[in-house]
Amino acid sequence: MPIYQYKNEETGEVTDHYMSISSMEEFEKENPNMKKVIHAPAIGDAVRMGVRKTDEGFNDLLKSIKKNKPGSTIKTR
């Protein structure tokens, strides 16, 4: 079941609701003051997608492993 985010138009509070699609439709009818918050799904790894770079400490660790372990298949970035 998906998680839906709703914003209470009266208070401004945003809450998460875990429910089926049929329950969501009923919830929306019963709560006209709650508006669904549309957002992009969190899919994938931010580093691999290029949204965020790996930090230098991690890159240094990879270099150290590659240097100290001959035959290692670790690739530095």
- Predicted pLDDT of residue 17: 93
CB contact at 8 A, 24 and 17: yes
- Predicted pLDDT of residue 47: 67
CB contact at 8 A, 3 and 21: no
> Could you tell me the pTM of the whole model?
0.50
Tracing tokens 């298949």 back to the chain, one arrives at 73
Rounded Cα distance, 35 and 74, in Å: 48
Averaged confidence pLDDT in the chain = 84
pLDDT-derived band at 58, boundaries 50, 70, 90? confident
Rounded Cα distance, 61 and 3, in Å: 37
